[in-house]
Amino acid sequence: MTLLRDEDLTAAFDHAARGYDTLVAANPGYHAQLRRSARRLGLPRGGEGLRVLDLGCGTGASTAALAGVLPGARIVSVDASAGMLARAAAKPWPARVTFVRAAAEDLAGAGVEGPFDAVFAAYLLRNVSDPDAVLTTVRDLLVPGGRLGVHEYTLGGRRADRAVWTLVCRGIVQPAATVLGDGELYRHLWRSVVEFDTASRFADRLRANGFDAVRVLPLPGWQTGITHTFVGRRPRTGNGAEG
């Protein structure tokens, strides 16, 4: 199969929305790991007065992580899939959380404007057609010194990392997703990870797109070597693309 992109990917997520939270619940630590990545943004405790963008919020798991870690922050949560977004918006949220349907490639067209103190993207960037363009947009939405947090499946580069990823996908995720009628999306999931950047390449990509203070942090449990948190910062001066 080829990778799903743009409208095809959005349609697949629309269809998968109904079973998404069930599949996620079968992954021990999914929510705790999102909260860990949200804390790794290193924002002032509580996030009072801050404005944070959750890009690719899905059914709201990453939004819940941000809302829990940053109880004082205003959060704008964006997703291209109406189905995923409807599931998210149907959950109980404090008034400081808002949802907007938008593609990461056209945030301005949907009225999503900066500045933000932080942008968080969990399991998104591997899915977009042009991650560099999205990263540049995100950098420009941040205040100088603003933080980017990326929580993503990015293999660590050891052969064992790919083997574990393949075992988990073929042995657990794909059979369960096939029962739910979402086999194609979860075959895309496997392939999108093996074809995407390794963790160190993705860190280089962040630097090349103008982020500084880039760090790559592992996550515990079976996802060690498979999922990483990346944190970076819009430089305090200049556009970050120089040097």
Ligand X SMILES: C[S@@+](CC[C@H](N)C(=O)[O-])C[C@H]1O[C@@H](n2cnc3c(N)ncnc32)[C@H](O)[C@@H]1O
Query: Considering beta carbons, is residue 73 or 80 the nearer one to ligand X?
Result: 80
3-state secondary structure of 243: coil
Distance (Å, whole) CA 147 – CA 118: 5
- Residue 103 contacts ligand X per CB under 6 A: yes
3-state secondary structure of 53: strand
- Residue 66 contacts ligand X per CB under 6 A: no
Q: How far is CA 29 from CA 92, 114, 125, 204, 221, in A?
A: 22, 32, 21, 28, 8
Query: Considering beta carbons, is residue 84 or 177 the nearer one to ligand X?
Result: 84
- Which helix H or strand E contains 231, and what residues bound it? strand 227-233
Near ligand X by CB under 6 A: residue from 38, 43, 61, 119: 61
- Residue 123 contacts ligand X per CB under 6 A: yes
- Residue 89 contacts ligand X per CB under 6 A: no
Query: Considering beta carbons, is residue 6 or 48 the nearer one to ligand X?
Result: 6
Segment 152-181, which members bind ligand X (CB under 6 A)? none
Near ligand X by CB under 6 A: residue from 79, 117, 152, 197: 79
User: Residues with Cβ < 8 Å from 106, sequence gap 6 or more?
Assistant: none
Interface with ligand X by CB under 6 A: which range of 117-125, 138-146, 204-212, 234-242? Answer: 117-125
Distance (Å, whole) CA 179 – CA 127: 23
Residues in contact with ligand X by CB under 6 A are 9-10, 13, 34, 56-58, 61-62, 79-81, 84, 103-105, 122-124, 127-128
